[in-house]
Structures are given as structure tokens and as C-alpha cells.
Amino acid sequence: MTARTADPDVARLVATLLSHRHGVRAAAPGALPGTGRLFAAHPALSGPTGLGTSAARIAPARAAHGTSPTEPSGSPDSDLPELYCPPPVRDDPELGEHVNDRLVQWAEEIGLYAGQTDRIRAVNIGRMMMLAHPDSDDPDRLLVAAKCALAEWATDDYYCDDGAAPEPLGAHLGIAYTTFDPAHPPLRYLPEQEKVLRNDPVRVALRSAFEHLAEIADHPRVARLRQEVAALFVAYTHEGTWRVQERMPAVWEYLAHRQFNSFLPCLALIDVVGRYRLTEAEYADPRVRRAVTMAANASTLVNDLYSMGKEDHDQGVEFNLPVVIAAHEQCSPPEAVKRSVEIHNELVHTFEAEATALALTGSPELRRFLTGVWSWLGGNREWHRGTARYNNT
Ligand SMILES: CC(C)=CCC/C(C)=C(\C)COP(=O)(O)OP(=O)(O)O
């Protein structure tokens, strides 16, 4: 495994991706084909109503941020393929800021990212939740999703990234897991266990986030998130092994890991935030699972592309799809970025086709959930395009 250096051609391509005015435009439709009409036919499932909610309704061809399928696509100054991604459905900066303020307050109260309040505020996960969950204007629900996301992200930042030693990773994650699936030791060991769970900000954050989730979600959906975060932790360990072994994974292996070291836990809360209930039978349907995990993977490849600039400055080896492709397919870094965009696009096209079929034949709740995943892709990309986490390097 060789250390990477910032390649000026890659920097140019990443800058193109990040650019608002000349970047790769959203090329995908704003709604899954056919679902706009179906939503209209099911007013009970057509999203929130009331003050300030009109922007949250799913509109087939309208972008919240000046990108629409009718706009020209592709960048004038590069041959980077279009990033196939829907536009964001709504942009309500005030709502995002409100959620973000409360999220930062929570982080301060529990000591998460202590001394880095300004940085965490600038990352603006409140805005991410506002963009990615356009069918909810409920700040309390968006805040719960934001707390879960920040706690999951912090687990990565504290235990995996930023030069963290890989050796204790398994133990860190094993203990962290018990914050939301409690261990029940003989009573005499309980004080010692409890002390450890309280003396680390990641553990405190995960426990607190799950407690808040339990206030708004029923047991099956809390269990659903538990399962997705367990898979996330397995994937964190998977990545840690490459560091210990100093091994560059094969492209297929990297992608398999990225399906779960992904935003899948965020997608799992789409119905909770939207205040409806997708049955566990439908969530677990292998056809739904395939579509949703592909979308999760694609949304995280967006992260790989947008975070390349940041990762060039991080300590230690940072894995992302272009780095893995360049290493294994003996191509230049710019070519690896292009191939990564193509892989992203294939995943999104496949999701679009399969989710459309499922939405047309499944329950109204499944239809709304899959539309929510599609909206999530658009909001996720829009957030990556603007967050200080990837734009201030
Ligand atoms: C919000 C959430 C579920 C986060 C867990 C997974 C995660 C940390 C990412 C999908 C982000 O990936 P990465 O580790 O590459 O993050 P950075 O690019 O370092 O911000």
C-alpha cells in the first residue's frame, strides 16, 4: 500500500465535482418515474401538509436548487462523465440551521468533539438531514436522525480515521455496540461496565442517540437501526484490517465493504423521520434490500468523490474508490475518478429501474419509502457539494 499524494489532475476533477456553477449537473429526474402520479393518488402518503411544507412535496421535474433534468449536463472544461443523481427536492436553510443549532448544543452537552464546536457547526449535519428528508418539516424528528448520523460519524472519526491506531478498533466497536444493545453482566460487574460506557464521548453519543430514537420509533424500527449500525461496525473493522495488513483491497472487496460502511443507517430512518411505517417484511424483502443497499453504496461513493480533497490531508491511509481503482487497474488518478463516477452511475440507474418497479407494485408505504431513498440521494449530493467538511481544504 503506497501513500498517496495530491495529484493536480485529480484536484481539478474533484474541484469540477464540487463546483456549483460549472459542476456536473444533476441529470436524474427529481422523482422516481411514475411515483409523482402515484403520490398524488394517495394524499395520505403525499408528505406533510401545513405551514412551510409545500417545498417538501415531491415534484417530478423541479429542482430546489436550480438543477433540473432539462438543464445542460456535463462540465464544459472536463470530460468527466455526469454524476447521475437527482436534484434536491427542497432547500430550507432556516430549518437546517435550526436543527444544526440543536445538534451542536447536544454535542456540547455530551462532550462530543469537545473543543471543535465551530468545526462541527460548519459540517452542518442539520442541513444534511433537512436536504435528505424533504418529506418531513418536523425539527424534532430531523434532530433525532441528525443525532444518530453524528454519533455514527463520530465512531468513524474517533476510532477509525484521523490517524487512530487500528489495533484497538475491534474492542472499541465491540464495547460501543453495547451502548445500543446492552450487555447484561452479573450485577457485581455493572458499575465497572457503566463507568466505561460513560467515559468516552462516542459511547455517550451512541447511547443518547438511540435513546432519543426510541422516543419516536417503535421497537422493530429501533432494531432495524441496530442491525444497520452493527453492519456498519463490521465494515469499519473490515477497513481496519486493510490498515493492519497494509493491503489495498480489490475493487469488488472495497465496494462490498462500502455497501455497509455507508449511509445505510441514515436510509433506515426514512420512514421514522417521515412519520409513517414501512413494515419489516417489506424492508427485509430481498428485492427491496438489493435496491436500498445499492442506493446506500451509491450515496457513499458520492462521499468518496467529494471527500478526496480532505482525505489527501488526513493522517494515515484513507481508502476511497478512485484510490483502489488506480492501484488495481493501473490507471491514472483522473481515469480512476471517471471510472468511479461510472460505477456510481450504474448503481443509481439500477436502483432507479428496480425501485420504480417495486414502487409500482408494492404498498403505498413502500412507494413512499423508495421515493424517500431517491430524495435522499439528491439531498445527500447537495449537502456534499456545500459542506465545509469537504470544501475547506
Ligand atoms: C452518517 C453515517 C451513517 C456515517 C457512517 C459512515 C461514514 C463515516 C461515512 C459514510 C463517511 O465515509 P468516510 O469515512 O469516508 O467519511 P469522511 O469522508 O472521512 O468524512
Domains in the chain: ranges and CATH = 8-391 (1.10.600.10)
> Could you list the pLDDT tens digit for every one of the 393 residues in the chain?
333 444 556 666 666 655 533 344 447 888 887 675 433 333 333 333 332 333 333 232 233 433 332 222 344 445 788 999 999 999 999 999 999 999 999 999 999 999 999 999 999 999 999 999 999 999 999 999 999 999 999 999 999 987 899 999 999 999 999 999 999 999 999 999 999 999 999 999 999 999 999 999 999 999 999 999 999 999 999 999 999 999 999 999 999 999 999 999 999 999 999 999 999 999 999 999 999 999 999 999 999 999 987 766 555 678 999 999 999 999 999 999 999 999 999 999 999 999 999 999 999 999 999 999 999 999 999 999 999 888 865
DSSP secondary structure, 185-199, as one string: --GGGHHHHHHHHHS
Burial class of residue 217 (count of CB atoms within 10 Å of its CB; 0-12, 13-18, 19+): buried
Other Cβ atoms within 10 Å of 42 Cβ, number:
12
All three cell numbers of 62, joined, read 423541479
Mutation pick for ligand 1 pocket among 153, 236, 273, 304 (CB with most ligand atoms within 8 Å): 153
Q: Is 157 in the pocket of ligand 1 (CB under 6 A)?
A: no
The residue whose grid cell reads 465493504 is 257
The answer, yes or no, to whether any atom of ligand 1 lies below 6 A from the CB of 236, is: no
How far apart are the CA of 263 and the centre of ligand 1, in A? 7
| Cβ 266 under 6 angstroms from ligand 1 | yes
The Cα 129–Cα 140 span in angstroms is 11
Burial of 239 (0-12, 13-18, 19+ CB in 10 A): buried
Residue 369: CB within 6 Å of ligand 1?
A: no
- Please count the helices (runs of H) and the strands (runs of E) in the chain: 20, 0
Cβ–ligand 1 distance for 375 under 6 Å, the answer no
Residue of the nearest CA to atom 16 in ligand 1? 303
319 CA distance to ligand 1 middle (Å): 11
pTM of the model: 0.86
Q: Is 262 in the pocket of ligand 1 (CB under 6 A)?
A: yes
Atom of ligand 1 nearest to the CA of 263: 3
Distance of CA 237 to CAs 76, 114, 123, 385, Å? Answer: 41, 25, 25, 28
Distance CA 124, CA 127 (A): 5
Indicate if ligand 1 lies below 6 Å from the C-beta of 340. Answer: no
Closest ligand 1 atom to 156 CA: 8
Complex-level ipTM: 0.97
CA distance 88 to 289: 23
Residue 313: its pLDDT value, please? 56
Distance 64 CA to ligand 1 centre (A): 25
Residue 303 Cβ contacting ligand 1 at under 6 Å: yes
So what's the pLDDT on residue 23? 42
Tell me the CA–centroid distance for residue 303 and ligand 1, in Å: 7
Q: For the chain, report the end-to-end CA distance as a whole number of angstroms.
A: 24
Please work out whether the CB of residue 136 comes within 6 Å of at least one atom of ligand 1. no
Q: Which of 169, 261, 323 to mutate to test the pocket of ligand 1 (most atoms within 8 A of CB)?
A: 261
Cβ atoms within 10 Å, residue 240: 21
Say yes or no: CB of residue 138 within 6 Å of ligand 1.
no
> Would you list the DSSP string of 367-391?
HHHHHHHHHHHHHHHHHHHH-HHHH
Q: Does residue 153 have its Cβ closer than 6 Å to ligand 1?
A: yes
CA of 227 to the centre of ligand 1 (A): 17
pLDDT at 245: 93
Q: Residue 312: CB within 6 Å of ligand 1? A: no
261 lines ligand 1 (CB under 6 A): yes
Ligand 1 and 92: CB distance under 6 A: no
* Cα 110 to Cα 213: distance, rounded to the nearest angstrom: 16
**Ligand 1 close to Cβ of residue 390 (< 6 A):** no
pLDDT of residue 30: 84
Contacts of 188 (CB under 8 A, 6+ apart): none
